[in-house]
Amino acid sequence: MNDQYYMNMAIKEAKKAREIGEVPIGAVIVLDDEVISTAYNLREKEQRSIAHAEILAIDKACQELETWRLENATLYVTLEPCPMCAGAIVLSRIKRVVYGAADPKGGCAGTLMNLLQDERFNHQVDVLSGVEAEACGKMLSDFFKELRTRKKK
Ligand SMILES: [Zn+2]
C-alpha cells in the first residue's frame, strides 16, 4: 500500500477524535506493509498533556512488538509532529515519518525546527510532508471554526 492509503487511515483516526470533541489528529504506524498501531488525540478526554496521537501510537506499537526500537517503521500522522512527539519519534528510532498538514505553531519536523533530522542526535528520520495535506488541514480548520462559532453562541 502507498503513503496516501495509510494517510487516509490516519485521517479516519483523526475523525474519531473529532467525534468526541478532540482536536482531530490521527496517527498510524506501519511496519513491512502491516499496520502495527493506530491512535488519535485524546488530550481532552484523558486530561493528559502527553496523550497526542503519535505518542499513543508509539506506545501501542512498542507493546505490540515488545520492543522500544521501531527501527523500520513508518509513522503516518495528519499534522506535523510537535516537539514532544518528534522527540519520541527520534528516541524510538522510527525510520520514516509521513505527515499531512504543516503546523506553523508547533511543527518540529521542518516548520519551526527540524528535530527529526538534526545531525547532532544519534538518529535521523526520513520525512515526507504534505501527503493529503489539504484534507488534513481542512479537518483542523473546520474543527476550530466550529469551536469559535459555538463559543460565540
Ligand atoms: Zn505531539
pLDDT on residue 153: 79
The pLDDT, as a whole number, for residue 76 is 98
Residue linked to cell 508509539: 58
User: What's the CA-to-centroid distance between 80 and ligand 1, angstroms?
Assistant: 8
Do 54 and 27 contact (CB within 8 A), yes or no? yes
Strand 96-101 to strand 126-129: parallel, antiparallel, or no bridges (unpaired)? Answer: parallel
pLDDT for 29: 98
Ligand 1 midpoint to CA 32 (Å): 24
pLDDT of residue 67: 98
Ligand 1 centre from 112 Cα, in Å?
A: 14
Residues 97, 103, 105: CA angle, nearest 5 degrees:
135
Note the pLDDT of residue 1: 85
The predicted pLDDT at position 143 comes to 96
Domains of the chain plus CATH, in order, are: 3-152 (3.40.140.10)
Q: Cell numbers for 81, please give them.
A: 509532529
108 annotated to a ligand binding site: no
Question: Is residue 133 exposed (0-12), middle (13-18) or buried (19+ Cβ within 10 Å)?
Answer: middle
Q: Is 123 annotated as a binding residue?
A: no
Is 85 among the annotated ligand-binding positions?
A: yes
Catalytic position from the list 13, 34, 46, 54? 54
Give me ligand 1 centre to Cα 25, in Å. 9
Question: Quick check: pTM over 0.85?
Answer: yes
- Between strands 96-101 and 74-79, the pairing is parallel
Query: Helices 53-65 and 3-19 meet at what angle, rounded to 10?
Result: 120
Distance CA 27, CA 12 (A): 9
Instruction: Please report, in tens digits, the pLDDT of each residue of the chain (153 residues total).
Output: 899 999 999 999 999 999 999 999 999 999 999 999 999 999 999 999 999 999 999 999 999 999 999 999 999 999 999 999 999 999 999 999 999 999 999 999 999 999 999 999 999 999 999 999 999 999 999 999 999 998 887
Report yes or no: 124 and 102 within 8 Å, Cβ to Cβ.
Answer: no
Give catalytic status of residue 54 as yes or no: yes
Ligand 1 centroid to residue 1 C-alpha, Å: 25
